[in-house]
Amino acid sequence: MENEPEKISLSVGQKLKTFSPDFTFSTGKMVEHYLANHLPDMIQTYDLALKSELTDVENTTLNLEFRVETLETWKGETGTKIDDTRRRVELLEKKHGVKG
């Protein structure tokens, strides 16, 4: 057993470099490669939204927020006009002796 070669522990990246010195082991590249191959299936399987879809949803939400704010402003202005009109009608009823 003295003649057995010493076992050397190499990482996967080191092992691949022995066969291809130009190989660069990068987790980022592996993730990009995986996503490039599997993303369409993942989008469908997990019902994922695309960035463009999120932008559309955000724009729709902003539009709805603006419309609600506009509606609230209109509601306030209209309420004030109705109150003013009621007061004027009451004054006219008192002035002319008409019961409303």
Model confidence, pTM: 0.45
- On whether both 43 and 59 belong to a single domain, the answer is no
Residue 1 lies in a domain: no
pLDDT of residue 28 exceeding 60: yes
Residues 37 and 64 grouped into a single domain: no
Q: Does 36 reside within a domain?
A: yes
Residues sharing a CB contact under 8 Å with residue 90, sequence separation 6 or more, in sequence order: 100
**Same domain? 38 vs 61:** no
**Is the pLDDT reported for residue 1 higher than 60?**
no
Q: Which of the two residues, 31 and 16, has the higher pLDDT score?
A: 31
> Region 74-88: what's the mean pLDDT?
97
Instruction: Give the tens place of pLDDT for each residue, 13-23.
Output: 666 666 666 66
In a domain, 2, yes or no: no
What the block records as the tokens of 100 is 């409303």
One domain, residues 87 and 63: yes
Domain of 32, in residue numbers: 8-48
Nearest CA among 33, 34, 27 for reference residue 12: 27
Q: Are residues 12 and 34 in the same domain?
A: yes
Q: Are residues 54 and 75 in the same domain?
A: yes
Q: Given a cut of 60, is residue 62 above it in pLDDT?
A: yes
- CA atoms of 94 and 88, how far apart (whole Å): 10
Query: Would residue 35 count as lying in a domain?
Result: yes
- Confidence at residue 59, expressed as pLDDT on a 0 to 100 scale: 94
Distances (CA, A) of 31 to 27, 37, 71: 6, 10, 48
- At 26 the pLDDT is 73
My answer on whether 69 and 40 are in the same domain is: no
Percent of the chain surpassing pLDDT 70? 74
